[in-house]
Amino acid sequence: MATLLPQQGAESWTPSSEREKGVVQQQVEILLASPLFHASKRYQTFLRYVVAHVLTGHTDELKERLLGVEIFDRPADYDTNKDPIVRVTASEIRKRIEQYYQDPKHSQEIRLFLPAGSYAPQFSWPGHPSGPPGNSLELLTNSSDATKVRPASTVSTLHGPSGFAGARRRLAIALAVLGLVVTSVVLWRASRPSLLKQFWEPLLKSTEPVVLCVADQVQYSNIRLRDAADPEREITRPDSMVAVIVDDVGPLANVAGTLRSYGKTSRVLGEATTSLMDLRRGPSVLIGAFDNAWTLRLTSPLRFHFANDALFTRLWIEDRDNPGKRQWGRESVQQRPTSYKDYAIVARFLDPTTDQFVVVAAGIGRGGTTAAGEFLVDADDMGEMVKQLPRNWERRNIEVVLETEVIQGLSGPPHVCAVHAW
């Protein structure tokens, strides 16, 4: 029986026949081929994994700890509170799914929901709460290799009426999808630990905790205090508060979780309270650029560094080897448009001032910082960087310029624009 999904206002159905499951799998591939998902192997692996478990009836295995172990190679006893990688990934996927279906051109496609607080996807078919109607739909791949759902009559005209041929074609598609899933999981899990650990190794070797220096903002405002005996009673007092930008919380959680998975402790400090002595004591990770003075200071001597005009009307990443080129930049007034390109620097280097290893995850805007934080914990993204680095990259200083498309406040996958090693 169909159940109501209050948050989406749609009805769900559980695919039961092999045909229904195959149609759902193809819809997943359509979704993952969209710009919101196609360049992120991490999102693709996660979504394929949870969908496959729902379709095979193994929803009891979709628990946070099990997903952390199976998808993200966390140890069986890892602390999910200190390492929220599963929750962070599911939340980002949930936002992107909602954004995908906001486009009217997807209104008649099978809908996939990832309900809040759950890792088990649910499905619905607009206008058909009990599932796909009869034999009215078949799968067709058009000339541009984008998979679409079309009426059976169209398929019959193009491929003939043979049910056996259609069955063979559906079987081939299902096997191809299964092969892609298995291959991506195997390759992703095989490459991820070695690449990520090689990148983070210089910081892991230190006996001191890693300082996570995040941008902060001092806000002068009022604070409400509630009476302990009567919470309905409250007073308002002036207070100064230090706030962290919410977009920086994702990179902070991703990095802290990755370090924790390798047994490395860390401590979080706001930029305003971080001293040079803190950075000299051990390795550090700097998050944010134009609102983090330590990022600007320590990256200033590097080949790729941040720059701006006197009035802050334009911000960019400058290449010391090509100072006249400013293609990695944006107007500062573009901070809040619905769609824009942002750029970021990811770096790992031994800083001569502190004599400690420093990792940087910093964008021109918030979208760039979010993408940089994702890059630092995704082996597939990092693999794109490694392709352009010398063979002994793990023993050298590294700097990368990233580009991301920000759509309605959500950062797309990071793309490598340039790399430098020394």
Identify whether residues 294 and 405 lie together within a single domain.
yes
pLDDT tens for each residue of 311-340: 888 899 999 999 888 899 988 755 555 678
The angle subtended at Cα 254 by Cα 355 and Cα 178, nearest 5°, is 130
The helices-and-strands tally (H runs, E runs) of the chain is 11, 19
Q: Provide mean pLDDT across the span 143-154.
A: 35
Give the pLDDT confidence score for residue 191 in this predicted structure. 44
Residue 105's pLDDT band, with cuts at 50, 70 and 90, is confident
Query: What share of the chain has pLDDT > 70, as a percent?
Result: 76
Identify whether residues 361 and 295 lie together within a single domain.
yes
Rounded CA-CA distance 186/66 in Å is: 17
Give the pLDDT confidence score for residue 35 in this predicted structure. 84
- pLDDT over threshold 60, residue 348: yes
Q: Provide mean pLDDT across the span 244-250.
A: 72
Q: Is 362:372 a contact under the CB 8 Å cutoff? A: yes
Structurally, how many domains does the chain consist of? 2
Q: Provide mean pLDDT across the span 353-380.
A: 92
- pLDDT over threshold 60, residue 58: yes
In a domain, 166, yes or no: no
Give the pLDDT confidence score for residue 206 in this predicted structure. 94
What rounded mean pLDDT belongs to the chain? 79
Identify whether residues 22 and 157 lie together within a single domain.
yes
Give the pLDDT confidence score for residue 115 in this predicted structure. 86
Torsion of CA 122, 126, 129, 134, to 10 degrees: -110
In a domain, 137, yes or no: yes
In a domain, 189, yes or no: no
In a domain, 9, yes or no: yes
In a domain, 171, yes or no: no
Q: Provide mean pLDDT across the span 218-234.
A: 75
Q: Provide mean pLDDT across the span 193-211.
A: 90
**Which one is predicted more confidently, 244 or 313?**
313
In a domain, 349, yes or no: yes
- Phi, psi of 47, rounded to the nearest 5 degrees: -65, -45
Residue 33's pLDDT band, with cuts at 50, 70 and 90, is confident
Identify whether residues 142 and 289 lie together within a single domain.
no
- pLDDT over threshold 50, residue 266: yes
Domain that holds residue 16: 3-161
Question: For residue 207, what are its two tokens?
Answer: 């006996």
- pLDDT over threshold 90, residue 277: yes
Identify whether residues 58 and 156 lie together within a single domain.
yes
